[in-house]
Structure 1
Amino acid sequence: MNSIGKRIGDFFARHRSIGFGLERIGFLTIAHTKLVALLVIAFTALTLSVIPRANVDGDLLRVFANSGPHYDSYAALSESFGTFEEDIYILVTSPTLTEPETLERLRELAFDVELSTYAVGTLSPFSLRAPDGAGGSVPAVPEGMESAEDVRQALSTLQQTDPMMRNLITPDLSGIVIIMFPNAELTRDEGTAGMIADLRAVIAPYQTGDVQIELTGPPVWTSEMLNAAVDDQVKFTVYGFSLGALIALFGLRSFWGAIIVASAPFVAVMWTMGTILLVFGSFSFLTIIVTTVCLVVAFSESMFFTYNWLNFWRDGMDPREAVARTIRQVGPASALTMVTTAIAFGSLGLAPGQGIQEFAMAGVIGSFLTFLVIMTFLPLVLFLAVRLGLKLPKTPSAALTAALPFSWSVVSRFARPLAVVSVVVTTLLLIPYFLIQPRFSFEDFVASDSTAISAAEEIDEGVGGVAPIYVRVPLLDANPDVSDRDYETIRTVHEILEAQLGENKVISAAAMTHYTEGGFSRAEVLSAVGPFMRQRFVTDDGTEALVTGFMPTIVESDRLKQVVADTQQALADAGVVDADVGGFRILTTFATDDIVRNLQLCLTLSVLVNIAVIGFAFRSVRLAMASAIPNLFPILGTEAWLWMSGAGLQLTTVLALTIAFGIAVNDTIHFLSHYLHDRRVEGRDHREAVRHTITRIGGAIVATTIILCAGTAVVAFSELPQVAMFGQLFVLSIALALLGDLFILPALLVAGGRFFDPVRRKAPQVDAKPVEATGQD
């Protein structure tokens, strides 16, 4: 008991390393080389066995699942009525649409689509039937018409009298829309790709010079996003790995040195990908980013480790002993950087949304596995390289150290003014932080070259649009054929929504006035539309009705919010209680606002916790204060750029800022760790310790920054705008962090002078006598 108490006391007192003893993993690798090698090989084999089954879940709802009341409302809506969000829209355009031969050809197309294995129903001018007055129904578009004038007359009449057809027939009669309702059981999991492929095969024979056919709708957009995400993953891994290896080759001026540096990131990515698949079963649009982040972080840490190992070797130390020395000096800082990166990822888990929480968990897993690779696999590779006769490479490229004399010259001459300006500027940058507002744009989630979006925009211009907004209306009389007073309620809601969206942009059970005024009963009209469409107007038990309005595919979030607010106010004024306004676009817009605001709080929490952890790790509030400005500056600077550019805060924007902060702190930790080593162990005075730190590890900081920026810059070329934005902001933040580490942090330390004198006190270190570098068990 006393032993446990003593260990706890030592941990919170001074008898621990800044890495909280996690660097012991590296010493275990040295002491038990063969055992650790077997474990590394076994885990690598396990993760590699899973990777061939890798897949990306294209369900965008996974991002917003369990995010709050807007998601709950959408889930309830889908359960009661189903929605148009899973439907496939087939846009058919032809200058000869009113020719009888063309019309009948398209009737065959609509029939073939309805016969598709994946279809449970369709809606088109050809599927609609009109009551015949004798209790039956006839095709709304008559068969066997003989002249273009007859076709034009039939389509015009249908377009003007039937509310659903107004959204399926273009005003100039040059195009029609066929909506296919998919079988949810067949499209679950990876079935959407099969459905789209089947539909493309169905429509192919009908494509001619005069008839153009395009697919659109959420499943098609999602499929395009999925394909883009998979392409991104391959591109990011290959290009990021290649760039990192080339930079290592250029920096170290050694082919084998570059291979050593690149081997650790390769294994880190394999471990991370395999573990994410084992835990979650698949990647999402967000978790797929984690592998790229782990790739560049692993390159950064591997470069730092190898750079220091080579320095010790050049100092005359035996290369095997240099491995142990590197673990001892760099290992604690690497452990602390893992902790701060994991905290940055983990803080995101406090925000709502299944997708965000999975991203947070995947990031924490990836951070730990990356550190584990550096402490186990990398030392094993170094031992192997030495055994195979690796020769000491040339000194690092002068390009890595070219800026260091300039950095020290500026810091030594202008430390105080530079420190003051840094504090003032960073403080002023808090203003945009509080002014910037969340923004959601649906097109940012869709592949930039999406043909489906182009087709959807054509539908927007010609007919009603493919972005539904729903009002779920409770009914009092529970009549499946809709009682008179329930009908009046539906009609009121219909008119309210139509006032917001425009004439002929709304469908509901109250929209069939042409037929009811012609003497048909509501039961006859609802029966004529077919059972599938009927359930999108009123539930089978008659307790709820649905009023559906169609908005343009691309609509600004502010416009959508205003429509929702005005609709809710009008419903309240009309005395329609308990009506619920919802839909996927409403879910994504409002839930994104909630998630982004929570993520901004997570970013703030991450900053505060990480600064506190740094202070606790170094046992110095003064050093924690010194680390704050150089790490706040790049994040606040990037956020200020977002505010000035009008981009606002988006989902991946805040993710990028939070993760960039967690990683930007890494170089600061390595800088402070080396600075403290110089003061506490080497006995250098304050100013000389700062200069020596810049000279000794400044090249590694430059190299790791280049690797981080170059590796993540690949992400900026993603076909998915949200992912591309992640890459752009990440690169900007890391580039600004380099200025913080080479100029702002040294200036603050030099300007602080006596303020930092207390940190020179030596502190007992864990593992004062490192394990002998025998490379044996």
Structure 2
Amino acid sequence: MSSGSVVSRFVDWFINRRSIGFGFEYLGVATLRYPRVMSVIVLLFTILCFWQIPKANVDGDLLRVYAHSGHYYDAYDNLSKTFGTFENDIYVMVNSPNLVDPDVLEEIRNLAFDLELNEYAVGTMSPFTLRKPDGSGGSVPAVPEGMLNADEVAMALMDLQQNDPMMRNLITPDLTGVVLIMFPNQELVNQDGTKAMIASLRETLAFYDDSGLEIELTGPPVWTSEMLNAAVDDQIKFTVYGFGLGAFIALFALRSFWGAIIVAATPFVAVMWSIGTVLLLFGSFSFLTIIVTTLVLVMAFAESMFFIFNWLAYWRDGMEPNKAVDTTLKLVGPATALTTLTTLVAFASLYFSPGQGVQEFALAGAAGSTIMFVCLMTVMPLLLKTALRLGFKLPKAPNFALNAPVPAALGLAMKFGRPVSVLAILLTILLIIPFFLIQPRFSFEDFMAKDSTALSTAESIDEGVGGVAPLYVRVPLTQMDPNVGAEDFETIRTIHEIVESELGENKVISAASLTNYTETGFTREEVFDAVGPFMRKRFITEDGSQALVTGFMPTILESQALKDMVARIETRMSEAGFPQAELGGFRILTTFATDDIVRSLQISLAASVVLNLVLIGIAFGSLRMALVSAIPNMFPILGTQAWLWATGAGLQLTTVMALTIAFGIAVNDTIHMLSHYMHGRREEQRSHIESVHHTLRRIGGAIVATTVILCAGTIIVAFSELPQVALFGSLFVLSLSLALVGDLFMLPSLLVAASRMLENLTGIHVQTADHVATPDDPAGNTDTRVGASRTS
């Protein structure tokens, strides 16, 4: 056979004889033809996935979300490798109205020493661990022991607060609280886990519960631990409530207990498969990939409802129930394959955005969507055939409430098709304006669990000592002096002053902030020896090639204010002749990386919309169908973005991800509706208006039911303890609700108004169903109008 013949046959198949699902529905046909073989494969894969589930865990490393996201990640990575950072430190806030009482102070001193002896500590920093040179080559405690009265204690603490650069950030101005910092043994933490470290610290601090001291833990490890606990709790709630709500809605819609069980069974298997697959791919869930199981759950419920609705409709129309399974798979299968492809395009578009976390989410989502399709094409037909063998009876007609909006949608389309279409087009065009006006936004507290005690403790530290969130400047030096030469000292001092002018007096520490000791006659070598080797590494590298300037800012700081401050600092350092000085820190990384990721995701969203519309046009063999579907598909996304812009919420990391995935899923109802419409036009030879009527009456209730399931299953996410996840759920529900308006009211009106444009669609021979013989349908169901089964 010549290559030209092969090409021409492929072109003929692609243009004329393929299905709208591009042949992927043949997986379902294979299940019908070889049920025993497919049952064994399904069973083996299920066992493999269930084998992974006991290993399920959530990686609490928030840095994983931003890994490899650009310049500020690289700066943070270089900083961590050179100096380490304060990002893993634990802050212990100790408050007492009687802090200046000598007995109380000694109790806190004991607490600080016990903290230093904890197995997870490699060092601590507090007023009690600080030592100062004694003038004879040694050092003495900065807070003297054995003080006799409150005045003596107050004088000692005020002297530290006013003269020591590090203690200014650890003692509250009113002398009622001190901050103790514990530096964890990161190797031991990685081995045992953050949860074990925090539990050990709480056990150490529990000894002082009856001492009258108010003790609270905070710091990044505590924050991420709270986030992790909230994420795990959320996932358990989402899965349980999602199944319960989905099954209840299915019961309400189908009015059949066993029908609801059948609808729920496929999503259950799909979720188990997706959990196992994510664990096989990545070894653990992240804060983003954990959302995928909820998405798979609601998508599988929606597609199951479409499948069951069509199957029962064929059965009620008089078709033999086993043959109805085959017929349904051949009709719904191609549409489901196309909806899966559009969802895959949506997830794939995310992959090209920076950030390891987003890329993992894209891969996990793509895997979950594929698994959902495979599950529907294998588990669903096997389940239905088994149910029929066990005596499943035809349920009552679907609940009338599901079809309640259909007459209104039909009436609106038939009487006011053109005005509604013009209004829909104008409204969608107007909604494009906020798309260009909305700005990225990052807020650290949005990543924290609601009612977080660690966050409230951090806020109290902000109020007391002005904040402990670190900002770093890595400064290249030229003299290579481990004790800092004069020229390098001036460089450090200049940058120190630039940072201090932004953060406030006494909010910066560096080698230049030790002048209160060097000006009294001590050498820098003596001062560095007094602070100890561990703290010395926080000022300068061992070879003297780089210095670190550390500023402390409030934990809660608006992203725009932080970006403006960073811009000013970088400009001033460049003007001062130090362009190579590198600004970094976790807060800077997350703020700027989020900005870059969000802008990239916006482009991905636009690309996803265009690609999916093109895909719909190719699938149906008609650019006109793609144009008709554009308005109802763009309206929900643009409407949701307009709401974000109007409320001032801005674009956040999970916001754009929610919009992108919601678009991929919202397209599903449009595809099912157009599939039924085109089937009526091309294969049942219905008129244009009759096909619109028939499509709405046939699947209008299914569209309502699937939207209710999607919204009900996802609205649970809106009650997450994590604000970012809660926002994801809220936007998802809003987008899907607007998509229902687009599909039920806009799309029929657009179809009616475009009657002339769609007049010759029957001349296009792309199939909308697969006419392949199966054991229960040996004729290949070439005529769906036989008997009472004149349906689509």
Q: TM-score, normalised by structure 1?
A: 0.99
Q: Which amino acid aligns with 1:499?
A: S
1:373 corresponds to = 375
For residue 157 of structure 1, report the CA deviation from its aligned partner.
Answer: 0.8
**Map 1:163-178 → 2, pairs under 5 A:** 163-178=165-180
For residue 642 of structure 1, give the secondary structure of its aligned residue in structure 2. helix
- Identify the residue that residue 193 of structure 2 maps to in structure 1: 191
RMSD between superposed Cα atoms in Å:
1.2
Question: Could you tell me which of 436, 454, 457 is aligned with 1:455?
Answer: 457
CA deviation after TM superposition for structure 1 residue 159, in Å: 1.0
Q: Deviation digits for residues 170-205 of structure 1, max 9, x if unmatched?
A: 111111111000111111266111110000000011
Counterpart for residue 492 of structure 2? 490
Following the alignment from structure 1 to structure 2, what is the Cα–Cα distance between the partners of residues 774 and 508? 80
CA distance in 2, matches of 1:268, 1:379: 14
Provide, for residues 400-452 of structure 1, a one-character-per-residue CA deviation record: whole Å limited to 9, x for no partner: 11111111011100000000010111011110001111011111111111100
Aligned residue runs from structure 1 range 485-634, under 5 A: 485-634=487-636
1:647-691: CA deviations, max 9, x gaps? 110000000000000000000000000000100111110011001
Please name the residue that 2:785 is paired with: none
How far off its partner does 1:4 sit?
Answer: 4.7
Alpha-carbon distance, 1:156 to partner: 0.9
Q: Is the 8 A contact 1:96 1:210 kept in 2?
A: no
2:95 aligned partner, one-letter code: T
Instruction: Describe the SS at the equivalent of 2:227.
Output: helix
SS of structure 2 residue aligned to 1:19: coil
Provide the residue aligned with 2:750 in structure 1: 748
Task: Give yes or no for contact 2:169–2:468 (8 Å, CA) kept in 1.
Answer: no
**Rounded Cα–Cα distance in structure 1 between residues aligned with 2:542 and 2:186:** 19
Query: What is residue 770 of structure 1 aligned with on the other side?
Result: 773
Q: Distance in 2 between matches of 1:232 and 1:166?
A: 40
Cross-structure match for 1:64: 66
Tell me the matched-pair count: 775
**Distance in 2 between the 1:7 and 1:81 partners?**
64
Whole-Å separation in 1 of the counterparts to 2:364 and 2:153: 58
- Counterpart in 1 of 2:789? none
Give structure 1 stretches of 5+ with no counterpart.
none
1:148-227 correspondence to structure 2 within 5 Å: 148-188=150-190, 191-208=193-210, 210-227=212-229
Measured after TM superposition, the shift of residue 11 of structure 1 is: 4.1
Query: C-alpha displacement at 1:481, in angstroms?
Result: 0.3
| Aligned with 2:332 (options 330, 333, 336) | 330
AA matched with 1:657 = L
Whether 1:94 and 2:99 are equivalent positions in the alignment is no
Query: Residue 142 of structure 2 corresponds to which residue in structure 1?
Result: 140
What secondary structure is seen at the aligned counterpart in 2 of 1:84?
Answer: coil
For 2:643, the equivalent position in structure 1 comes to 641
Q: 1:387 to 1:426 in 2, by over 3 A?
A: same
Q: Distance in 2 between matches of 1:490 and 1:326?
A: 74
CA separation in 2, counterparts of 1:327 and 1:236? 29
The AA in structure 1 aligned to 2:588 is I
Paired residues for 1:304-319 under 5 Å: 304-319=306-321
For 2:579 and 2:676, the matched residues in 1 are separated by: 66
Query: 1:8 — aligned with what?
Result: 10
Whether the 8 Å CA contact 2:435–2:642 is kept in 1: the answer is yes
Contact 2:621–2:764 under 8 Å retained in 1: no
In structure 2, C-alpha distance between the alignment counterparts of 1:451 and 1:110, rounded to whole Å: 21
Alignment of 1:304-453 (within 5 A): 304-453=306-455
Q: TM-score, length-normalised on structure 2? A: 0.97
| CA distance in 1: counterparts of 2:766 and 2:194, whole angstroms | 61
Give the superposition deviation at 1:107.
1.0
Structure 1 distance, partners of 2:578, 2:765, is 71
Does 1:669 find its partner at 2:671?
A: yes
C-alpha separation in 2, matches of 1:209 and 1:696: 72
Q: Distance in 1 between matches of 2:766 and 2:516?
A: 89
Q: Quick one: distance in 1 between partners of 2:572 and 2:699?
A: 65
- Superposition pairs for residues 38-57 of structure 1, below 5 Å? 38-57=40-59
CA contact (8 A) 2:640 2:734 kept: yes
* Structure 2 stretches lacking a partner, 5+ long: 779-792
- After TM superposition, the structure 1 = structure 2 runs for residues 282-321 of structure 1, keeping only pairs within 5 Å, are 282-321=284-323
Contact 2:18 2:766 in 1 (8 A): yes
Report what 1:84 is aligned to.
86
Equivalent residue, structure 1, for 2:783: none
How do residues 85-124 of structure 1 correspond to structure 2 at under 5 angstroms? 85-124=87-126
1:208 is displaced (CA, Å) by 2.8
Q: Which stretch shifts more, 139-148 or 641-650?
A: 139-148
Cα offset, 1:52, TM superposition: 1.1
| Aligned partner of residue 662 in structure 1, secondary structure | helix
Given the superposition, is the C-alpha separation of residues 315 and 189 from structure 1 closer, same or farther in structure 2, using an over 3 Å criterion?
A: farther
Aligned partner letter, 1:207: D
Q: Is the counterpart of residue 18 in structure 1 residue 20 in structure 2? A: yes
Once the two structures are overlaid, the 10-residue window that deviates more, 94-103 or 182-191, is: 182-191
Q: Could you tell me how far 1:577 is from its partner in structure 2?
A: 3.2
Deviation of 1:127 after TM superposition, in Å, equals 0.5
| Distance change (3 Å), C-alpha of 1:21 and 1:206 | same
Aligned to 1:760, the other structure's residue is in SS state: helix
Question: Any idea what SS the aligned residue of 2:210 has?
Answer: coil
Q: Which SS does the other structure have where 1:86 is aligned? A: coil
Check the 8 A contact 2:508/2:551 in 1, yes or no: yes
Q: What CA deviation, in whole Å up to 9, does each residue of 1:119-150 have, x standing for no partner?
A: 11100001100101111111111111121111
Assess if the C-alpha contact under 8 Å between 2:503 and 2:553 holds in 1. Answer: yes
Rounded to whole Å, the distance in 1 between the matches of 2:658 and 2:180 is 40
Q: Alpha-carbon deviation of 1:10?
A: 3.4
Alpha-carbon distance in structure 2 between the residues aligned to 1:224 and 1:233: 14
Conserved 8 A contact 1:468-1:583:
yes
2: CA distance, partners of 1:160 / 1:11: 82
CA distance in 2, matches of 1:251, 1:459: 54
Question: In 2, Cα distance between the equivalents of 1:8 and 1:762?
Answer: 17
| Residue in structure 1 matching 2:257, options 244, 255, 276 | 255
Aligned partners of 2:345 and 2:612 also within 8 Å: yes
Which residue of 1 is the match for residue 230 of structure 2?
228
SS in 2 for 1:213: strand
Map 1:267-282 onto structure 2 (within 5 A): 267-282=269-284
- In structure 2, the partner of 1:32 is 34
Give the fraction of aligned pairs with identical amino acids, expressed as a percent.
64
Q: Could you say what secondary structure the match of 2:540 adopts?
A: coil
Whole-angstrom distance in 2 between the partners of 1:366 and 1:577: 46
Q: Partners in 1 of 2:480 and 2:362 — Cα distance?
A: 45
C-alpha contact 2:20 2:766 (8 A) present in aligned 1: no
CA distance in 1, matches of 2:91, 2:100: 21
Q: Does 1:734 align with 2:736?
A: yes
Letter in 2 for 1:582: G
Structure 1 CA distance, aligned partners of 2:191 and 2:755? 62
Which range is displaced more, 627-636 or 179-188? 179-188
Distance in 1 (alpha carbons) for counterparts of 2:429 and 2:537: 58
